[in-house]
Amino acid sequence: MSSASQPAVSNFIRSIIDADLASGKHSGIVTRFPPEPNGYLHIGHAKSICLNFGLAFDYYGKCNLRFDDTNPEKESEEYAQSIQDDVRWLGFQWDGEVRWASDYFEQLHQYAVELIQKGLAYVDDLTAEQMREYRGTLTQAGRNSPYRERPVAENLDLFARMRAGEFADGSRVLRAKIDMSSGNINLRDPAIYRIRRAHHIRTGDRWCIYPMYDYTHCISDALEGITHSLCTLEFEDHRPLYDWVLDNITIPCHPRQYEFSRLELHYTITSKRKLLQLVNEGHVSGWDDPRMPTIIGMRRRGYTPEGIREFARRIGVSKSGNTVDMAVLESAIREDLENSAPRVMAVIRPLKVVVTNFVAGKTGSREAGFHPDHPDFGARLVPFGKEIWIEADDFSENPPAGWQRLTVGGEVRLRYSYVLRCDEAIRDAGGNMVELRCTIDPDTLGKNPSGRKVKGVIHWLSGAHALPAEFRLYDRLFTVPEPDAGKDADYCKYLNPVSLIVAQGWVESCVKDAEPETRYQFERLGYFCTDRHDHKPGAKPVFNRTVTLKDSWVKGQITR
């Protein structure tokens, strides 16, 4: 499989790899995708996955999947499993077994002992608050901890006892001894081990000290022989620490870290922590709610792996801001579905039409292909009948200028069928439109009427043949482009109250046996996908609206 259906777009990371291969610095590349199993993956992670796995694919290299499992309280097997499913669903396969930072806990510990022996790490007894105070600020140098000059032997002893569980959680840490006056706060003696009695999904209760992310990450990369360690820009200031650790331990490999900008997507949020809040507070039905920017949410909504990979290709990889409008993602999905989804008709807000001049046995039906460019998709009969459903929005008693749909006394073409004239609109006692009385021009099945032009084409269904169906119409989850802009933004204030509308309508009976996750284009309405969980073949179909059609596709597209 290619990382995308289109040729790769060059970027600064590819240029670096090209140079490293040309100079002989590397004979092949090894990348990794290193998620923390503390939530479900989102569209930002998809960017990173497509980058890391895509590079390995294109350069005939390898990409590891490595869980950064150093925060036991927040991590779970469920998350770890979902991440593997998501990577595979996106179309990628990691090299060999899944790897875990916890597989290296023993080695990480050994390297910490080495740093202590070299006088480059010490056990500190300051409280967290004192440590913050001693750290200084961006404009003010930090101060050395009174414990900084502990003798090596004492540090070795204390560290061994930390591991043995002699001290309370949070009472001591192991710190790298670097430079408390460094302009880079990450180098002001960062903690590399902390005491935390927490059950770990892999190592159980074997450890009560856990290595910190920065310390763990570089060593894990080196142990796996990663050549290019790609991460997002907020780690740029951590790179000196990444290099310091690897420069000061006995390890034969020193991967290089390169940073690229995070993807931010308008009208949504890309942070596991915030997405978890939406789930916990019940703003969405779960991590896989089709409005969520999670990979499983997008999957349930009907997005395709090909479309997401194409999106990643289009947004590219650079160091400059990568805030992208939802429209870019939607058009990548739409373009993929345009060619791959069979086209049928559905009516979401039905209005009944009685065809008064219908003659059983005489008024005909036509066959229609499932895709104009793919005869291989096959065809079905589009049955006509005395009673048909049309979309309520396709009729107006007082149409605006330029109206090409149905009105009393006007004509439209029924897709794949006759030209229909509306003779009368019928209202009930309450004044609600309940039915249209119409006639067809019997001479227009598959041919133009003579002497006049009928411009409008609408979709419809035969009442006697259509299947009742549920349509879940999804819209953006937030009403503003940057719901979480600003540090303490209360993004829940900007939730879109109509991000989900459930409608009961009708669909062509040819979809009757569709499996879950089957995608269709409903003509003039958009792309839809049968729900992964609630749709059962043979029962009343349940469709999620994936994305509407291009605005320009048909005048008068119905989006609600």
Catalytic residues: 36, 262, 272
Shortest distance (Å) from residue 14 CB to ligand ATP: 17
Q: Which is nearer to Mg ion, 3 or 31 (CB)?
A: 31
Q: Which is nearer to ligand ATP, 270 or 404 (CB)?
A: 270
d(CA 265, CA 318): 16
Binding of ligand ATP at residue 269 (CB under 6 A)? no
Tokens of 238: 């951590």
Q: Which is nearer to Mg ion, 36 or 264 (CB)?
A: 36
Binding of ligand ATP at residue 182 (CB under 6 A)? no
d(CA 121, CA 215): 12
Shortest distance (Å) from residue 388 CB to ligand ATP: 48
Neighbours of 369 (CB within 10 A): 16
Shortest distance (Å) from residue 343 CB to ligand ATP: 34
Q: What is the crossing angle of helices 43-58 and 12-22, to 10°?
A: 30
x-marked contacts with ligand ATP along 17-46 as a string, rule CB under 6 A: -----------------xxx-------xx-
- Decide: 187 and 178 in contact? Cβ < 8 Å: yes
Residue-by-residue DSSP string for 507-520: E-GGGTTPPTT-EE
State the residue number with the nearest CB to Mg ion. Answer: 36
Three-class secondary structure of residue 363 per DSSP? coil
Q: Which of 99, 217, 228, 272 binds ligand ATP (CB under 6 A)?
A: 272
Binding of ligand ATP at residue 231 (CB under 6 A)? yes
Q: Which is nearer to Mg ion, 219 or 388 (CB)?
A: 219
- The sheet carrying 62-67 orders its strands as 30-33, 62-67, 99-100
The distance from CA 556 to its chain's CA centroid, rounded to whole angstroms, is: 30
Contacted entry of Mg ion, ligand ATP, none for residue 35, CB cut-off 5 to 8 Å set by kind: ligand ATP
Q: Minimal CA–CA distance to 524: which of 346, 308, 382?
A: 346
- Decide: 29 and 18 in contact? Cβ < 8 Å: no
Q: Which is nearer to ligand ATP, 35 or 255 (CB)?
A: 35
Per-residue HEC secondary structure of 219-243 comes to HHHHHCCCCEEEEEHHHHHHHHHHH
Shortest distance (Å) from residue 36 CB to Mg ion: 5
Neighbours of 397 (CB within 10 A): 11
Shortest distance (Å) from residue 122 CB to ligand ATP: 28
State the residue number with the nearest CB to ligand ATP. Answer: 44
Applying CB under 5 A, the span of 36-44, 295-303, 425-433, 483-491 interacting with Mg ion comes to 36-44
Q: Which of 3, 48, 216, 546 binds ligand ATP (CB under 6 A)?
A: 48
Handedness of CA 268, 269, 275, 280 (dihedral sign): negative
Shortest distance (Å) from residue 328 CB to ligand ATP: 14
Tokens of 375: 């005869």
Interface residue list for Mg ion (CB under 5 A):
36
Chain residues in the site for ligand ATP (CB under 6 A):
34-36, 44-45, 47-48, 231-232, 262-263, 270-272
